[in-house]
Amino acid sequence: MSKKFGSVSAVSELSFSLSRSSIVGLLGGNGAGKTTTLSMILGLLEPSAGSIQLFGQDFIKNRHAVLHRMNFCSPYVDLPQRLTVSENLRVFAGLYGVKNASEKIAHLANDFRLVELMNQPIRRLSSGQKTRVSLAKALINCPEFLLLDEPTASLSPDVSHWVRSRLADYRDRTGSTILFASHDMREVELLCDHIMIMSRGRLIEQGSPEELKQHYGRDSLEDVFLELSKGREGE
């Protein structure tokens, strides 16, 4: 798929497939095209060219046939601020047609340490607490495909660590696929089975963290990324 805004190319001829039950990291610096890519996969943005196949269906034509099997979380999208945590989760449970919503919400509240916060309006929560609520919302329908756009941005290291462990646990329990956009190399290295590195809207490298480090003879993914960035600057 490709996306152009006027004459500016945000994503160019990006082509990839995701294996079921994998956690895939979409890495790239600012303006690399990560959010644009996620937005196209979510149906928030229409590709200028190309197609998206999700669960064997043409997503652009049959968006509503698959949206109930997906969900997403992004620090750039808020939940209604005046509604309490419990009210928000009830609304989204309804939107996704969750059966036994009360049970599911209680389970998520427990899982994401939200029990004490359930009656608090979102606007009174700290950013870490908001992220936990957003993640609970993103898992309300047990999505088979979860898209996360920098879910740990602006979180302290301990909360980020906790979020990563929840995501890994969710994948292990449900066999869901997670696409994870980030520019935090360490985080991606810790969490993801497969990594796609984007630069200037193009997919410039992909593989497992180990494969990439080996291939470039580096100790960390960050070094691999810096090496690739230098290469791109020279072009």
Partner 1 sequence: MNTSSYDRISALLLRYFFLLRSSWPRLLEIAYWPTVQMIIWGFTSLHFSQASPELTTGGILISAVLIWDSLFRSHISYTLSFLEEMWSRNLANLFVSPLRSWELILSLATVSMIRTLIGMVPAALLAIPFFGISIFDLGLPLLGFFLNLVFTGWAISQAVTGILLRYGLGAESLTWMLPFLLAPFSCIYYPLETLPNWMQLISKFLSTTYVFEGMRALILEDEWIPHLLWKALALNGIYFVVGLTLFCVALRAARRRGLLLQSGE
Per CB under 8 A, which region of 85-93, 112-120, 174-182, 217-225 contacts partner 1?
85-93
Stretch that binds partner 1, among 67-75, 107-115, 182-190, 211-219 (CB under 8 A): 67-75
Q: Which helix (H) or strand (E) holds 65?
A: helix 63-66
To which residue do tokens 């997919």 refer? 203
How many residues belong to the site for partner 1 (CB under 8 A)?
A: 41
Nearer to partner 1, 174 or 229 (CB): 174
Assess 153 for contact with partner 1 (CB under 8 A): no
The reply on whether position 92 binds partner 1 by CB under 8 A is yes
CA-nearest of 169, 154, 185, 133 to 25 is 185
Q: Return the residues of window 18-37 that contact partner 1 according to CB under 8 A.
A: 35-36
Spatial CA neighbour of 15 closest among 203, 146, 199: 203
Q: Is 141 in the site for partner 1 (CB under 8 A)?
A: yes
Report CA Rg, the chain.
18
CA distances from residue 158 to 27, 101, 154, 162, 165 in whole angstroms, order as listed: 21, 30, 12, 6, 11
172 secondary structure, DSSP code = H
Number of Cβ within a 10 Å radius of residue 111: 16
Q: Is 146 among the residues that bind partner 1 (CB under 8 A)? A: no
Rounded Cα distance between 191 and 171, Å, is 11
Q: Does 69 bind partner 1 (CB under 8 A)?
A: yes
Query: CA distances (Å), 214 to each of 211, 218, 220, in order?
Result: 5, 7, 10
Q: Is the CB of 140 or the CB of 224 nearer to partner 1? A: 140
Residues forming beta bridges with residue 2, ordered by sequence position: 49
Among 27, 79, 108, 125, binds partner 1 (CB under 8 A): 79
**Residue 22 CB, nearest distance to partner 1 (Å)?**
21
Q: How does strand 194-199 pair with strand 202-207?
A: antiparallel
Residue 44 lies near partner 1 (rule: CB under 8 A): yes
Provide the minimum distance between the beta carbon of 43 and partner 1 in the complex, in angstroms, as a whole number: 6
Q: Which is closer to partner 1, CB of 6 or CB of 217?
A: 6
Stretch that binds partner 1, among 20-28, 82-90, 158-166, 198-206 (CB under 8 A): 82-90
Which residues of this protein are in contact with partner 1, per CB under 8 A?
A: 5, 35-36, 39, 42-46, 64, 67-72, 74, 76-84, 87, 90-99, 121, 137, 141-142
